[in-house]
Structure 1
């Protein structure tokens, strides 16, 4: 039995009260008139967790930092005293800050882990900017960010990368060191930024402080886990180099959770109300440590993560949340060849509201490419080359009706190019999306690129027996790889190109990177092709 930390107070569990709401708004920079009462921080470097920007629009971006002069302090407070601290920020058109075009002040409050999320507006579209923070005489590293093109424009191209699954205990963040050197407009992180498990047993071969050996359950421990992950310089560098669009999968809270249910929902101490307390703590720590806008501020155990970001008329990014609104996994989770519940037309992965929001976006979008940011594999993953269909039940294979409805809606609403980008699997796939996998003659209606992990799973291999089985059992799968890395994407009016960038090892530092394979989707032609 794992010893759990103290429960959240009822006030924190149910949401922010008046004082908490004020603290939140101070962190956005909205209440500049109240900043005079905030203390000035003096002493050690407070920017140990780095800086970041996120959710870019054509005229703005959100900036982020969290003050933590002692990031591994046992109480999770980062070495900060329980009082508000003034933080200044600057945005410039050059990295020497000779032309500062925006500056302001926010207040880092203990209620939000001394994080700030100033939202910068009024910027020029499709433009590179530089930013930094200052407090107590200390100046942060310089970050680079970029706005998106005007909504009515037709950009020549879009360059981005997507990544997921970065278990600290499984290796070093070699992939991020190379991602930071790419020429990208933005990065999409598709979940498992954090893993909830302790890291005493790790593939790095290092001894860790005992406070990192336990599983995360309360706010202090989640804060410590983020501090550990953000202690990795390549991750901080990738954040500082590009704006990120971030969502979650399961491990930011707990493995394979579903809606209000813990994976351990059959245990007496994991009833839904107890699990909601854990989820509230996880979501608060998530917000404190990511470049989220105020719209993503959690309310107790709830957070709005599904959202849409446009890149001119070239592409829309539709970011899904496949955890908060789903029904419990059918047939006890795991894998099954005979679970008929997975076919139940009333079972949902997205929930009704999010499903309607998604398909309404299909109708209203003017974008040439619909990029769906998705956490768990949408395409069918049969594990049996024989007559049976043996599938995992946590991803869309466990929610067949929702998958079929989404793909049918894309066809019915004349989506020109549907491309799904996915994490979770710790493997690289390029495959076709079929309108109905139960029908051998079903048409291809979209494409999916599943990206491997940054570290999760350890060093990996180019292909293994599992990969050979997948290729034999799934004719819609055109490519499989089991190394670590990320996917680099170039999109233009003629085609989408995904380069699978891989490193040969993660259990030691300094790995080189190479492009293992490249696959394309031609405009108006659903399905993947080798470049």
Structure 2
């Protein structure tokens, strides 16, 4: 097939960014190679790759580098070898054998003060991905890392920046975290990722819909025009999902965001299929047997693991993958990362929107599953952190979408599982969780809401807050004013913000308060948009509830 050239970035701002990490992020996005003790060959274009001498792989680092899962003494380093990232077989132009790769981590970007280095393999069975779990590092420190094909003159990767979490009993310095979701490649340019990288966060949380499964123009932006196209068919096989991840990962702006800080990731639905629920497909007709959809989910889960900086314990087994987990940031914050897809009951009412029937209120319905719910509540109760950050996918607060006296809800969100939500709200209060903060993606809008134990009671005090980030691109340009904004704010009294622009959220946490800045772009239909702050809110430690800054 005829391929576009997404390895070449769309034009972005060329002004020199400030800050060492931003420079590194930009270098990673452009495919530049920063060499210290290792010799680095020049980055190769696809045409030069095709002319590489026999036996050479060409430039295998076309998908960039990433890190994730920070602990007080370690981090995961990631890359995936793909000299031909758009190969239709999903193998990225790699041979059917494991390939040795060297890695290095240092205190400086010139790699004069190397602290750890080693050798591993890009495993053919895992799409030639590399997941290095580095341990024994000092806590609360910034590091630089890179990879090289083993052997004299081997290709050198871009440089990434990562950091370890503070020691368990330490406050550390104030934490800057960014969180984002929903990056539909066809709906816009990934400028928001570039702007996020320029924020130089300490950690990035990604809350789902990292890729979209659709064939080209199957999901058209509300503007009626997609600005670029997906490659290949709707993703169903392992080769399909690998190719789709490669198309996204080759984007320079996304590479910049990965290279600037460690990521903590979770998925939503589009990493597999829209609105799937456990092993229930969105539409049953294409899957006459359970085994057929199970095979699709299994392929999607493997490709997700291969392309994310996750620890080995997350590697899928059969059709399942253990993704919910907990990470700590000293005494300041605990990250409780949820999976609201793999264990949920099917959506009520056939997933018809808007939902208002009694099925959504059935006591036995769960979006988490019993085991994950118990794990979460027990972890919140035992947490010693000032801020308990719950990273998850779909809208948590009760959200009425129907203007006026009638009421209607999204059955794919927690509004389709109201008893499960109430158990958590009760748990916040009864287990004395001081500062629960729910982070959400999915809905392609910025929202901020107080979480009351009894949403319909105006006298019910907040027991936590929810911060909802808009999309990176999904939904196209959008705008600050949209048809239902005023009715949403009027009919949902706990809602403090509603905005339909693209962007992300930056939150700064210290011992006394959390400040969340809702960052927005003017447009994503063209590259290079500036970013601004649409609204800011503060939460004081020990006083649940949003205050406009």
TM-score by length of 2: 0.87
Q: What is the aligned partner in structure 2 of residue 184 from structure 1? A: 201
Question: Of 224, 229, 238, which aligns to 1:219?
Answer: 238
Instruction: State yes or no: 1:394 paired with 2:412.
Output: yes
Displacement of 1:356 after TM fit?
0.4
Displacement of 1:438 after TM fit?
4.1
Instruction: State yes or no: 1:364 paired with 2:382.
Output: yes
Q: What is the aligned partner in structure 1 of residue 307 from structure 2? A: 289
Is the partner of 1:56 in helix, strand or coil? strand
Q: What is the aligned partner in structure 1 of residue 190 from structure 2? A: 173
Contact 2:81 2:128 in 1 (8 A): yes
Contact 1:264 1:270 in 2 (8 A): no
Instruction: State yes or no: 1:51 paired with 2:69.
Output: no
Instruction: State yes or no: 1:258 paired with 2:277.
Output: yes
Instruction: State yes or no: 1:89 paired with 2:103.
Output: yes
Contact 1:261 1:271 in 2 (8 A): no
Instruction: State yes or no: 1:164 paired with 2:178.
Output: no
Q: What is the aligned partner in structure 2 of residue 491 from structure 1? A: 509
TM-score by length of 1: 0.90
Instruction: State yes or no: 1:124 paired with 2:138.
Output: yes
Deviation by residue 1:295-315 (Cα, 9 ceiling, x = unmatched): 110112101110011011111
Seen in structure 2, the aligned counterparts of structure 1 residues 108 and 380 have a Cα distance that, compared at 3 Å, is: same
Instruction: State yes or no: 1:410 paired with 2:428.
Output: yes
Q: What is the aligned partner in structure 2 of residue 322 from structure 1? A: 340
Q: What is the aligned partner in structure 1 of residue 441 from structure 2? A: 423
Contact 1:262 1:270 in 2 (8 A): no
Displacement of 1:334 after TM fit?
2.6
Task: Report 1:379-390 matches (<5 A).
Answer: 379-390=397-408
Q: What is the aligned partner in structure 1 of residue 365 from structure 2? A: 347
Instruction: State yes or no: 1:62 paired with 2:80.
Output: no
Q: What is the aligned partner in structure 2 of residue 375 from structure 1? A: 393
Seen in structure 2, the aligned counterparts of structure 1 residues 207 and 253 have a Cα distance that, compared at 3 Å, is: closer
The CA distance in 1 between the partners of 2:169 and 2:456, in whole Å, is: 40
Seen in structure 2, the aligned counterparts of structure 1 residues 364 and 206 have a Cα distance that, compared at 3 Å, is: closer
Runs of 4+ in 1 over 4 A off after TM superposition: 200-209
Contact 1:337 1:388 in 2 (8 A): no
Task: Report 1:299-318 matches (<5 A).
Answer: 299-318=317-336
Q: What is the aligned partner in structure 1 of residue 464 from structure 2? A: 446
- Which deviates the most, 324-333 or 434-443? 434-443
Task: Report 1:232-251 matches (<5 A).
Answer: 232-251=251-270
- How many pairs were matched up? 489
Task: Report 1:190-201 matches (<5 A).
Answer: 190-200=207-217
Displacement of 1:465 after TM fit?
1.2
The CA distance in 1 between the partners of 2:331 and 2:242, in whole Å, is: 39
Contact 2:360 2:411 in 1 (8 A): yes
Question: Of 71, 89, 92, which aligns to 1:75?
Answer: 89
